[in-house]
Amino acid sequence: MLMDTDFLGVVGMKGNKTAITGLILIFCGILLLVPQLGFLRIHLGFKTWPLIILLLGALCQYAFFALKKAPAFLVAGGMLITYGLLFLFETATNWKYSEYTWPVYQFGLGAGFLELYFFGGRKKGLLWPALILTLVPIFWFIIILNPDILHMIKWSYILPAVLIAGGAAVIMNSIRNNKG
């Protein structure tokens, strides 16, 4: 039987992805046990649980950047870090602003796809979903923070502008494809 290093450099059977789960469980158990034994005074209150999500996001980022694992780790890492930061904010403020922060859930997915686009080979099909999943929540944040902006928008110009921009994009794509 051939032994090799796999996910996160853990020695074991090649392809054994459960090692990371075991390491995370051991780490969390030790983290909870050490204060019980009196070695270290760490207050792991209810409000610190988002740190686990941040840690998992950081592990995903590490898996891609340091270990050259699958690019899908970028999406998971981007999402987990975004959500971990959101939940840290929410728990620190006792969820007082949760009615305003809901676009962050969609933004997290967009952040993951943007990472995948920029660091995972810049595949054409990823850019538009990444931009949509990133820009739409930003638009919602603007509306949430300044609802009066809706009255300033000339809605009768939106559809024609989208059609013109879409037509121009189709023509530019056609010209680019005919040159190559």
Nearest to 117 by CA among 74, 63, 150, 60: 74
| Unique residue bearing structure tokens 């010209």 | 175
Would you list the domain boundaries of the chain?
1-44, 45-179
The pTM score is: 0.63
| Unique residue bearing structure tokens 């603007």 | 142
Is the model's pLDDT at 139 over the cut of 80?
yes
Round to whole Å and give the CA distance between 93 and 116. Answer: 31
**Rg of the chain (C-alpha set):** 22
In this prediction, residue 83 carries a pLDDT of 94
Mean pLDDT, range 105-130, rounded to an integer: 88
Reported in sequence order, the residue ranges of the chain that DSSP labels E, i.e. its strands, are 3-5, 11-13
pLDDT in tens, 77-95: 999 999 999 998 888 888 8
Residue 111 identity: A
Round to whole Å and give the CA distance between 56 and 163. Answer: 42
- CA dist 87 to 40, 117, 143, 170, 179, Å? 26, 25, 22, 41, 49
Contact 78, 112 (CB under 8 A): yes
